[in-house]
Amino acid sequence: MATSSDMPKKAGHFVRQVAKYQSPLNWRSIWQIINSFVPFFVIWVLMYFSLSISYWLTLGLALFAAGFLTRIFIIQHDCGHQSFFASRRANDFVGMIASVITLTPYEAWRRSHAKHHANSGDLDFRGFGDVDTITVDEYLALDFVGRVKYRAMRNPFVLFVVGPAIMFIILHRIPIKVKKEWKKERRSIAMTNLAIAVVVIAMGLLIGFREFFMIQLPITIISSSLGVWLFYIQHQFEDTYWRRHKEWEYETAALEGSSYYKLPKLLQWFTGNIGFHHIHHLNPKIPNYRLEEAYEENDFLRDATTFTLWTSIKVVFFHLWDEQQQKMVSFWDLPKIRPQSA
């Protein structure tokens, strides 16, 4: 059952303005399933045959497979929001099928992600479905070991390569952040793990365990890194939105705390329009294939902080939220903004 902290606070005018886009179009949803799942499996088979030619070719194909796996994750994501189909049963069925491929337990992720949406940008309700972010004062209050741990977590190699792989392959298998009373969600983790084990064993017996992991591991590592990168870029920019709960507002958090990642059309397609992240946070009931439509038809949605592939790189160098300046800062800014910490 949702608590008061799960509910949008002061959501209204702008949410209503985009409400007309939240109706899913079943034919578009079905077509998206076809043009995402089918190419993924076709490329997977091609990767198997490429092993006898060159592993470099296999890795090259893994890039494309990872792109389609990202689309599959977006489909699962929409199903979790009950926005992909009008039918809850259809959403849950497709979402659970996708979850085995993405290594992400459907029910557990859905619950955690819902809390992320309900509390995104709320400093008093961090820790669910977001990148760990602390304030300048919280960082300065840490001991030496605490600071080293946080800096290590914020290292780009850890954040975008090692961390995502560990999260999707290992941490999603364990109910670390799933409360004991969330029985449905804990069961989801167990059932997803069982389904993954069945697939791995079946494929291992069919084509060989070595061959299976040579194909699947690079796909998973690449797609998980891409997913974390997208999520990070869309929330961790300099002028993002963080407020204490008593000052926090749902619509402001959505429009100012989420960016528009303006990607080339091909990458926008592979990433399921998730670059229109401010619209998604404003109304997560809008299916991914209608986000661009909403953007084009509503001028107020074009005021969002916008990044391109090139300009998004600078976002990597923000590490802490400064409550005094109301912006993200880097570790290297600390001697200037808190001279006493130097």
pLDDT in tens, 61-73: 999 999 999 999 9
Query: Which pLDDT score, from 0 to 100, does residue 179 have?
Result: 79
CA 310 to chain centre: 20
CA neighbours within 13 Å on the CB side: how many for 21?
A: 23
Q: Which domain holds residue 262?
A: 4-341
- pLDDT > 90 fraction of the chain, expressed in percent and rounded: 83
Query: Which pLDDT score, from 0 to 100, does residue 107 have?
Result: 93
Query: Which pLDDT score, from 0 to 100, does residue 341 have?
Result: 60
3-state secondary structure of 135: strand
Question: Who contacts 19 (Cβ-Cβ below 8 Å, separation ≥6)?
Answer: 283, 285
Query: Which pLDDT score, from 0 to 100, does residue 294 have?
Result: 95
Q: How many domains does the chain have?
A: 1
Dig out the tokens for 153 from the structure: 């977590």
CB 191 within 8 A of CB 34: no
What is the residue-wise DSSP string for 246-312? Answer: GG--HHHHHHHHS-EE---HHHHHHTTTTTBHHHHHH-TTS-GGGHHHHHHH-GGGGGS-EE-TTGG
Q: What is the mean pLDDT of the chain?
A: 92
Regions of the chain where pLDDT drops below 50? 1-9
CB 182 within 8 A of CB 109: no
